[in-house]
Amino acid sequence: MKGRLGLRFVAIGYLAALLAFPVGLVFYRAFEHGVDAFWEAMTTPDAQHAFWLTVEMVAIAVPLNTAFGVLCALVLVRQNFRGKALLNAAVDLPFAVSPVVIGLALILIYGRDGWIGDWLIENGIRVIFSTPGMILATIFVSLPFVVREVVPVLREIGTEQEQAAETLGASPLQTFFRITLPAIRWGVAYGVVLTTARALGEFGAVSIVSGKLSGQTETLTLLVENRFQRFDLAGAYAASVVLAILALLTLLSMNLLRPKEGR
């Protein structure tokens, strides 16, 4: 019994020191000068712009990654072809690669002197140091989530129902929307939540391709860093709290979705 209490103490102590206290303190610091100060820090033009830019990036990256993720999972589970193992490994790459390296890779392709960067710039398309590059970076880092959540579900449901539908004359599209999609919807939802969280919070990859132009290419995470560097601690805490609340909402929806996966 003594040993059990000791272990409990170690576990709770570790989590408190590493997670609970620090996060709690940031909330306290953000609101220690009152809600008005917090509101003021978040309604400056820069903060407003950062917030809406973040929303815009999520709104583009998440649907694209969801569509790609479901398609990719279908290909990985339902089809056999040469190089399938390679595709499987490539999907997980963004998890294993540092976000900074991802950012650098995008610069080498789309930036000045990049593989297609010069051609793009000549045609008036600016990718690096502007929003398209940041969206690409966000898509890149949050690529694997939907695939990884949908693949096991697809394996589990099997193909019997889909085959039955096809025998009864359903087109592939009908089969997908009437049979497959409803069966995998919780897996997709879980993947979407994880993708959204990652897209909201990405810093390294976005930072390196953004050029950090305040009021132009500054997302919420970049705003946190910028305000911190300018010794605007209260402002940095305020922006952090907005992101932390979004993270907590993510946790909440993860917990709500998780039991449903088993159904």
Q: Site mask, another protein, residues 77-116, x = CB under 8 A?
A: -------------xx-xxxxxxxxxxxxxxxxx----xx-
Query: Considering only 14-22, 42-50, 166-174, 183-191, which stretch makes contact with another protein by CB under 8 A?
Result: 14-22
Give the CA distances from residue 141 to residues 148, 201, 215, in Å, rounded to whole numbers and listed in that order.
14, 11, 23
Dist. CA 163–CA 179, nearest whole Å: 10
CB 92 within 8 A of CB 98: no
Q: Site mask, another protein, residues 113-152, x = CB under 8 A?
A: -xx-----------------------xx--x---------
End-to-end Cα, the chain, rounded Å:
36
Give the CA distances from residue 16 to residues 26, 159, 226, 247, 248, in Å, rounded to whole numbers and listed in that order.
14, 46, 28, 18, 16
Is 213 a binder of another protein (CB under 8 A)? Answer: no
| Among 60, 234, 254, 257, contact with another protein (rule: CB under 8 A) | 254
Number of residues engaging another protein in binding (CB under 8 A): 67
| Among 142, 180, 207, 210, contact with another protein (rule: CB under 8 A) | 207
In the bound state with another protein, the residue whose beta carbon lies nearer, of 166 and 211, is: 211
Give SS3 for 211: coil
Dist. CA 117–CA 111, nearest whole Å: 5
DSSP 97: S
Rg (CA), the chain: 22
Residues forming the site for another protein (CB under 8 A): 3-4, 7-8, 10-12, 14-15, 18-23, 25-26, 29, 90-91, 93-109, 114-115, 139-140, 143, 194, 197, 200-204, 207-208, 220-221, 224-225, 228, 236-237, 240, 243-244, 247-248, 250-251, 254-255
